[in-house]
Amino acid sequence: MKGMITAILALGALVSCGQKRQDAATPVTFDDVLATRRSVRDFDASKSVSEAEVREILTAAQDAPSWANTQSARYYVAISPEKADAVRSLLAGSNPQKTAGAHVFIVSTFVKGQSGHFHGVASNEIGDGWGAYDNGLANAYLVLKARALGLDTLIMGIRDADALRALLGIPEEEVVMAVIALGHRASDPQKPNRKPLDDIAKFF
């Protein structure tokens, strides 16, 4: 009897520990990830992001689908304080102020002439637009994985592409797309309203 009680107590402790770990890992489901992901414009400068976390996020981005598995997306990570500050200075509008507390900036690009092409010839009228499409898919995986790890992002398209190319040594055969700030939210932004589903989808 004593042994049975001990086993039950031990099992209870394991369940309790497992529950605590699950509660600590926010968000814990894919629906949680979708519900809590936001474009964050107020980052907590006191919280850092590790290279290991960035590598885990980019590994997830690699799992995104791409045209004929060309995997044309490329990423340039400004993680040192000097490079991060340099990338921030090349953002336009109010983006430098909005990302003042972010410690990491990821510049996403895609290689021209791969996605949407066969033997170097565009497969349809969209051409390299498929490269941008695939880059967006990979970036979606990126921001969702970041949220799953408890991190936050801001995707920015207003930036000095030529200066970023020079700063990070981005080859001419790559198109500079977005700059993604990565960090921890300092406050919880409100979710913007979404259009009714029937305004954007037609069923046949």
Q: What is the mean pLDDT of the chain?
A: 89
Quick check: helix, strand or coil at residue 73?
strand
Q: Is the pLDDT of residue 131 over 60?
A: yes
pTM: 0.85
Min mean pLDDT across 13-22, 34-43, 183-192 is at 13-22
| Cβ–Cβ < 8 Å for 186, 42 | yes
Instruction: Please name each of the domains of the chain with its CATH number.
Output: 37-189 (3.40.109.10)
The closest alpha carbon to 95, from 153, 14, 166, 28, belongs to 153
State the amino acid at position 200 in one-letter form.
I
| Cα 77 from Cα 105, distance rounded (Å) | 6
Q: First-to-last CA distance in the chain?
A: 65
Asked if the model's pLDDT at residue 137 lies above 70, the reply is yes
User: What is the Cα–Cα distance from 53 to 57, expressed in whole angstroms?
Assistant: 6
Token readout for 15 is 């369940």
The pLDDT of residue 22 = 39
